[in-house]
Structure 1
Amino acid sequence: MNCPDDLIHSNSPLLSWRDGAIAHLRFNRPAALNAIDLATAQAFRSACEVLAEDREVRAVVISGAGRAFIAGGDVASLREDPVANAQKGIALVHAGVSILAALEAPVIASVHGAVAGGGLGIMLGCDLTIAAEGTRFSLAYPNLGASCDCSTSWVLPRVVGLRKALEIALLDGMFDADEALRLGVVNRVVPADRLEQEAGALAARLASGPTRALGQLKRLMCDSFERSFDEQLAAEAEAFVQCASTADFREGVGAFVEKRTPCFRGE
């Protein structure tokens, strides 16, 4: 869904709106390629806190206004009191990323243009990513004399493997959308003029699913790296039983037996 008319000319650094059960967050500093300053970081955390309390949200789409998704942090804002500003900004963004990771609703990153630094981390922290052709990805941190943040060091090695992650990180390698797809960093690459439509269609598909079960699947997949095989079996059994108590499970079983398409309500 396009941004509502009443938000198009907003000066807020982050726009949020609902399209039925789909929530949208859009970074909105197009003149700065959506670089994240303290105000943006605060708005991001606040918007994520609102999402966490909204049980009617069944999918989330994160995007960027203008020519880029997010070109990283606002470096200029770090020149004055870099330690204090870095601590404040990272704490705010990390709080938002952590909330998104814990949502039962699937989170989709819809990216284009530049995806760098913290923008790459936020994208990696989402469950799925759809990218426009021509998108460029970069870790960006080494050129600033900094390490990474926003979940990059946790997600990237799990997605591309440790050796490739180290290559990207240590050599600050930039890669394009086709390479991102090959590496598994993004799930789909689409023509730039179809990005919003394709992201919306993916979000609508996920929003029509059994939200509680999708949340359990997210947690099982992510937590599997920290468990033994038997521990994971136990976690799977517990999660399945929890799903079996939901209205969506009853609907799914009934639809299967009755040979019809299920109509899930996210309950």
Structure 2
Amino acid sequence: METAWRTILYREANGVAWLTLNRPERLNSFTTEMHAEVREALARVATQRKAGTVRALVLTGAGRGFCAGQDLNDRAVAPGEAAPDLGESIEKNYKPLVLALRQLDLPVIAAVNGVAAGAGANLALACDLVFAARSASFIQSFAKLGLVPDTGGSWTLPRLVGPARALGLALLGEKLSAEEAERWGLIWKCVDDDALIPTVTAVAEQLAAGPTYGYAQTKKLIWTSFEYALAQQLDRERDAMRACGQTHDYQEGVRAFLEKRPPRYLGR
């Protein structure tokens, strides 16, 4: 099925929700309206997840870019006017966006089809798996405007590539190619441009057909692991493993292995 909004495209197929940022003339940069529509779409994904009809999400961009971050025209200030409260924009828009992605109890895949700059780069990195076209690039463009990385970038970057590379990206604002991003461990995989959507489709449908309750527990354990000491994390693993062991999917996985047949997972 497909649902129409003004600034995004949304469809569901084979257990996968596809959310496409759709302002290609502005490299899919964010406006207040786009934020509102993305929130509505993510709320729909959460609802459809509970109904069992959506079990994975793909986030991508229309046209030649993934997302160029914030549309500065949406924040334009005439000479003499008071400066906008950028903190309010974070609180109302970017913070809820990142938290909504992280709180979805299903795999979230970014298909980065072109430039991902500023908030757009960090939006991609907030996803669980990031695939990028070979022509794509990542730019932490905040420093050139006297700003700091937002959309979780100051949290995500050092965890993915370490503080030295995180500071280099954040302070210099240099373009990082998709191939280099893969070598650094910033993203999962770089693929040829014409292979991006077929590759992501195959992975998303594979995940959607898999034991998604276990995926959700894995996602939660890994993304929050830095908040806990080792002993605490071992306790969390124990509790998650206990919960997973009570699910239909675990029992089905064992039976399918013993019976030498493909498993039929239900996501619970």
Smaller-chain TM-score range? over 0.9
- Cα gap change, 1:161 to 1:89, in 2 (>3 Å): closer
Displacement of 1:28 in angstroms is 0.3
Length, aligned pairs only: 261
Q: How does 1:1-267 map to 2 (within 5 A)?
A: 12-54=6-48, 55=50, 56=52, 57-80=54-77, 82-84=83-85, 87-88=88-89, 91-267=92-268
Give the partner amino acid of 1:146: L
Displacement of 1:93 in angstroms is 3.0
Give the partner amino acid of 1:75: L
**CA distance in structure 2 between the aligned counterparts of 1:203 and 1:24, rounded to whole angstroms:** 10
**CA distance in structure 1 between the aligned counterparts of 2:124 and 2:91, rounded to whole angstroms:** 15
Question: Deviations 1:33-91 (Å, cap 9, x if unpaired)?
Answer: 00101111111112112212222221100000011000111012222365246623652
**CA distance in structure 2 between the aligned counterparts of 1:82 and 1:39, rounded to whole angstroms:** 21
Give the partner amino acid of 1:106: P
**CA distance in structure 1 between the aligned counterparts of 2:91 and 2:145, rounded to whole angstroms:** 15
Q: Secondary structure at the match of 2:67?
A: coil
Task: Tell whether the 8 Å contact from 1:129 to 1:187 is kept in structure 2 after alignment.
Answer: yes
**CA distance in structure 1 between the aligned counterparts of 2:72 and 2:226, rounded to whole angstroms:** 34
**CA distance in structure 2 between the aligned counterparts of 1:31 and 1:209, rounded to whole angstroms:** 37
Task: Tell whether the 8 Å contact from 2:14 to 2:205 is kept in structure 1 after alignment.
Answer: no
- Cα gap change, 1:264 to 1:170, in 2 (>3 Å): same
**CA distance in structure 2 between the aligned counterparts of 1:115 and 1:90, rounded to whole angstroms:** 22
**CA distance in structure 2 between the aligned counterparts of 1:48 and 1:22, rounded to whole angstroms:** 13
Q: Where does the alignment leave 5 or more consecutive residues of structure 1 unmatched? A: none
Displacement of 1:153 in angstroms is 1.0
**CA distance in structure 2 between the aligned counterparts of 1:165 and 1:84, rounded to whole angstroms:** 26
Task: Tell whether the 8 Å contact from 2:182 to 2:190 is kept in structure 1 after alignment.
Answer: yes
**CA distance in structure 2 between the aligned counterparts of 1:82 and 1:258, rounded to whole angstroms:** 66
Task: Tell whether the 8 Å contact from 2:131 to 2:187 is kept in structure 1 after alignment.
Answer: yes
Give the partner amino acid of 1:48: L
**CA distance in structure 2 between the aligned counterparts of 1:88 and 1:160, rounded to whole angstroms:** 27
Q: Secondary structure at the match of 1:252?
A: helix
Q: Secondary structure at the match of 1:83?
A: coil
Displacement of 1:259 in angstroms is 2.6
Identity of aligned residues (%): 36
Root-mean-square deviation (Å): 1.7
Q: Where in structure 1 do 4 or more consecutive aligned residues deviate above 4 Å?
A: none
Question: Deviations 1:157-200 (Å, cap 9, x if unpaired)?
Answer: 10000111011111112111110110111211111112111110
Displacement of 1:220 in angstroms is 0.9
Give the partner amino acid of 1:205: Q
Give the partner amino acid of 2:175: M
- Cα gap change, 1:113 to 1:42, in 2 (>3 Å): same
Give the partner amino acid of 1:131: A
Task: Tell whether the 8 Å contact from 1:109 to 1:126 is kept in structure 2 after alignment.
Answer: yes
Give the partner amino acid of 1:96: L
- Cα gap change, 1:90 to 1:29, in 2 (>3 Å): farther
Question: Deviations 1:121-150 (Å, cap 9, x if unpaired)?
Answer: 110100001110111210000111111211
TM-score, structure 1 normalization? 0.92
**CA distance in structure 1 between the aligned counterparts of 2:146 and 2:95, rounded to whole angstroms:** 20
**CA distance in structure 1 between the aligned counterparts of 2:217 and 2:17, rounded to whole angstroms:** 20
Task: Tell whether the 8 Å contact from 2:160 to 2:185 is kept in structure 1 after alignment.
Answer: yes
**CA distance in structure 2 between the aligned counterparts of 1:90 and 1:142, rounded to whole angstroms:** 20
Q: Where does the alignment leave 5 or more consecutive residues of structure 2 unmatched? A: none
Task: Tell whether the 8 Å contact from 1:251 to 1:262 is kept in structure 2 after alignment.
Answer: yes
